[in-house]
Amino acid sequence: MTHSVRMSTSIAPARPGADPESAPGSGPAAEAAGSEATGSESAVGPDGGWTSGAGPGGADDSTICDVDVIRVSGGARLAGQVHVVGAKNSALKLMAAALLAPGRSVITNVPRITDIAIMGEVLRRLGCQVSFADDEPVPSAERAGVAAAGGPEGVARSCSVTIEVPDAPGTEADYDLVRRLRASICVLGPLLARRGYVRVAHPGGDAIGSRGLDMHVAGLARMGAEISGEHGFVIASAPNGLRGATIWLDFPSVGATENLVMAAVLARGVTEIDNAAREPEIVDICTMLSQMGARIEGAGTSTLRIEGVAELHPVRHATVGDRIVAGTWAFAAAMTQGDVTVTGASPAFLEIALDKLVSAGCLVETRADAFRVQLDRRPSAVDVVTLPFPGFATDLLPMAIALASVSEGASLVTENIFDGRFMFVNEMARLGADIKTDGHHAVVRGRERLSSAPVRATDIRAGAGLVIAGLCADGVTEVSHVHHVDRGYPDFIADLRTLGVEVERATAPEEPAFTL
Residue 202 interacts with ligand EPU (CB under 6 A)? no
341-370 burial: b if 16+ Cβ within 10 Å, else e: bbbbbbbebbebbbebbeebbbebeeeeeb
Three-state DSSP string of 217-239 = HHHHHHCCCEEEEECCEEEEECC
From the list 319, 385, 324, 367, the residue with the least C-alpha distance to 349 is 324
Q: Are strands 410-414 and 384-385 parallel, antiparallel or unpaired?
A: parallel
Please identify which of the residues 66, 68, 206, 284 carries the catalytic annotation.
206
Of 132, 329, 418, 422, the residue at the interface with ligand EPU (CB under 6 A) is: 418
Of 149, 251, 293, 434, the residue at the interface with ligand EPU (CB under 6 A) is: 251
Draw the binding track, 476-515, toward ligand EPU (x: CB under 6 A; -: no contact).
------------x---------------------------
Residue 14 interacts with ligand EPU (CB under 6 A)? no
Residue 394 interacts with ligand EPU (CB under 6 A)? yes
Please tell me the distance from the alpha carbon of residue 329 to that of residue 326, in angstroms, as a whole number.
5
| Range 16-45, binding ligand EPU (CB under 6 A) | 36
318-338 burial: b if 16+ Cβ within 10 Å, else e: bbbbbbbbbbbbbbbbbbbbb
Residue with Cβ nearer ligand EPU (209 or 454): 209
Residue 210 interacts with ligand EPU (CB under 6 A)? yes
Of 460, 466, 468, 485, the residue at the interface with ligand EPU (CB under 6 A) is: 460
**What minimum distance in Å lies between the beta carbon of 255 and ligand EPU?**
3
- Contact status, residue 190 vs residue 96, Cβ threshold 8 Å: yes
Residue 222 interacts with ligand EPU (CB under 6 A)? no
Residue 440 interacts with ligand EPU (CB under 6 A)? no
Residue with Cβ nearer ligand EPU (153 or 214): 214
Q: Are strands 434-438 and 441-445 parallel, antiparallel or unpaired?
A: antiparallel
Please, where are the H alpha helices in 417-459? 425-430
Known catalytic residue at 206: yes
Residue 204 interacts with ligand EPU (CB under 6 A)? no
Chain centroid to Cα 65, Å, comes to 26
What strands, in cross-sheet order, belong to the sheet with 226-230?
172-173, 197-201, 233-237, 226-230
**What minimum distance in Å lies between the beta carbon of 35 and ligand EPU?**
7
Of 89, 458, 480, 498, the residue at the interface with ligand EPU (CB under 6 A) is: 89
**What minimum distance in Å lies between the beta carbon of 410 and ligand EPU?**
26
Residue with Cβ nearer ligand EPU (40 or 407): 40
Of 5, 116, 146, 213, the residue at the interface with ligand EPU (CB under 6 A) is: 213
**What minimum distance in Å lies between the beta carbon of 371 and ligand EPU?**
20
Alpha-carbon Rg for the chain in angstroms: 22
**What minimum distance in Å lies between the beta carbon of 319 and ligand EPU?**
12
- Three-state DSSP class for 136? coil
89: annotated binding-site residue? Answer: yes
Residue with Cβ nearer ligand EPU (353 or 473): 353
Residue 145 interacts with ligand EPU (CB under 6 A)? no
Q: Distance between terminal CA atoms of the chain?
A: 39
| Range 164-183, binding ligand EPU (CB under 6 A) | 183
Residue with Cβ nearer ligand EPU (92 or 401): 92
417: annotated binding-site residue? Answer: yes
| Range 125-144, binding ligand EPU (CB under 6 A) | none
**What minimum distance in Å lies between the beta carbon of 87 and ligand EPU?**
9
Please, where are the H alpha helices in 70-125? 88-97, 114-125
Q: Are strands 339-343 and 79-83 parallel, antiparallel or unpaired?
A: parallel
- Contact status, residue 280 vs residue 256, Cβ threshold 8 Å: no
Residue 71 interacts with ligand EPU (CB under 6 A)? no
Residue 214 interacts with ligand EPU (CB under 6 A)? yes
Residue 87 interacts with ligand EPU (CB under 6 A)? no
Strands annotated E in 26-173: 43-44, 50-51, 66-73, 79-83, 103-111, 129-134, 158-165, 172-173
Of 21, 284, 339, 395, the residue at the interface with ligand EPU (CB under 6 A) is: 395
Residue 147 exposure: Cα atoms within 13 Å on the Cβ side: 8
- List phi, psi (to 5°) of 74: -75, 165
Q: Is the peptide bond before 390 cis (omega within 30 degrees of 0)?
A: yes
Q: List the catalytic residues.
A: 206
**Annotated binding site for phosphoenolpyruvate: which residue ranges?**
88-89
- Going by the annotation, the residues of the binding site for UDP-N-acetyl-alpha-D-glucosamine are 182, 395, 417
Residues at the contact surface with ligand EPU, assessed by CB under 6 A: 36, 89, 92, 183, 208, 210-216, 251, 253-256, 394-395, 417-418, 460-461, 488
